[in-house]
Amino acid sequence: MNRLVSGLIVYGEDGSESILMKLAGVCEKCREKDADATLIRTELFGIVRELLELATDYGFDKNLWQNYLTFLLITKETPFAITCEKTGAAKGSVNHFVMNDMQIFYDLFHYDFTELEEFLGTDCFDILTNYTSVKKPESRYNKNVSEKVRELSEELGKGSGAKDFYDSLTGFYKKYGVGMFGLNKAFRIKEGESGISIIPVPNMQTARLDELVGYEIQKQKLIENTKAFVEGKPANNVLLFGDSGTGKSTAVRAIVNEFYLDGLRMVEIYKHQFKELSNVIAALKNRNYRFIIYMDDLSFEEFEIEYKFLKAVIEGGVETRPDNVLIYATSNRRHLIKEMWSDRDDVEQKAGMHKSDTMEEKLSLVNRFGVTISFSKPSQKEYFNIVDDLAARAGIDMPAEELHLLANKWELSHGGLSGRCAKQFIDNLAGKA
C-alpha cells in the first residue's frame, strides 16, 4: 500500500496524519524483518477507531474503506477538482497525472488486506468492508454528505478501471462540486485568532417553497430573482420584511433547497460579523457557485453602526461585488434602522443641524436592496387555510369547524395570526394524537 500511496501526484497527501497515510505506514512496518506485531496491531486499532468515528459522523455503511476513499476524493480541493466543479472535465495535460491517481485509487478500492490481517491476527478489515451501521436519527449525522458519499462509493466500486473512476469523479464534480461547498448547502462564519473561517451547517432545514402556504406573489418574486442569479443573469439583493412568523426565513431556506443542484449555496452571517463581510466575499468570489449571504432578522438600533459595513459592501465600496454573490436579508422593520420622530424635524433648534440628512442616511441602506418583498400577517381566512393544509400533511383527521375553533383559541394566546402560530398549533395537536 505504501508504494501505491507514494505514487499519488495530484491527490497526494501532504502529511502523515490522514487515515490513508497512517495505514500505508502500518502496511510498510509489517514488511520489516523485526516487525513487532503487538505494537503494530495497537497502531492499527487506533486507525480503525478513527475510521469508525468518521463513519459515525457521516453515517457511512457497507464498505467503510471505500466510503472513506470516496470521501477523500470529493473533499480534497485540488486545483484540478476546483477547475472541474460545476463545469465538468476539461482537456489539458493535467489529466495524464489525474489518470495515474485514478488507477491508484482503483487499486486502493480493491486492496487485499488478507496478508495484513493474517500477520496481525485480526479481522478488522473483513468487518469494515462488510459493515452494518447502527440506525440513528438524521440529526445525529451529516445526512447531506452521507448520501452523496455512499452513492458515489457504490458507483466507483462497480467501476472497471481508472477511466471509470475519472468519469464518475468528474461527473460528481460537475453535479455538486468539491470540498465543503460541493457537499453542503449552508455555512456559517467562525471567527478565530488567525482570522475567519467558513464552516458547514451539517443539517440545514429541509424547507420547500410549496410548504409555505399562501404568499404566492412573494414566492414568485423570490424565485424569479434567484433563478436569474443562478443562470448568471443580472439579479438584485433582496430584503424580505414584515410581521414575525410569516415565513420570511423559511422562504430563504426553501429557495436554497430549490436551487441547490444549480450551484446555489448560502452563507449565514450575524450582525456583529459585518466587519468581516469583505473577507467573506473574497473567500467566495473565485468559486464556481452562486452564494447568498443571508442575514436573518436584520435591524439596527440608533446607536449601532454595523450597517455602514453592509452599505459599503452592497454598493459604494472600492472593490466591485463579485457576480456570484448576492445578499438576502429578512427583517421585521421596513427601514431596518430604528427611526425617531425627532429625525423628521429638519432642523435641530439648538445645534442647527439638518435632520433630513439623518433620515437619508437611515433610508439609504434599505434603498440598496433592489428587490423588497412584504410578508404581512394572514387574514383569519388565510390562517385557517394554512391550518387546514398543515393538518392534512400531519395526517390529522378532524372536522373543519372543530379544527378552526381550536386554531382560533390557540392563536389568541400564542401571538396572533401567523404561519408560525399555525405550525405550532398543528405540532401541539399532533403531539396529543
Q: Domain spans of the chain?
A: 2-183, 198-375, 380-432
Q: Per mean pLDDT, which range of 121-135, 141-155, 318-332, 397-411 is the poorest? A: 318-332
* Biggest distance spanned by C-alpha atoms of the chain: 94
Average pLDDT in the 348-356 region? 49
SS3 350: coil
What is the gyration radius of the CA atoms in the chain, in angstroms? Answer: 27
Assigned fold of 198-375: Rossmann fold (3.40.50)
C-beta atoms surrounding 247 within 10 Å: 28
Residue 433, pLDDT score: 74
pLDDT higher than 80, residue 346 = no
* Identity at 361, one-letter amino acid code: E
> Whole-model pTM above 0.75?
yes
Percent of the chain at pLDDT exceeding 70: 86
- Angstrom distance (rounded) from CA 7 to CA 255: 44
Cell digits of residue 386:
394554512
Is the pLDDT at 327 greater than 80? The verdict is yes
Of 210-214, 215-219, 250-254, 381-385, the poorest mean pLDDT is in: 210-214
Q: How far apart, in Å, are the Cα atoms of 112 and each of 5, 125, 191, 371? A: 15, 9, 44, 59
Note the pLDDT of residue 360: 59
Q: Tell me the CA distances in angstroms from 325 to 274, 290, 345, 385, one per residue in order.
A: 15, 6, 38, 36
β-sheet bridge partners, residue 196: 191
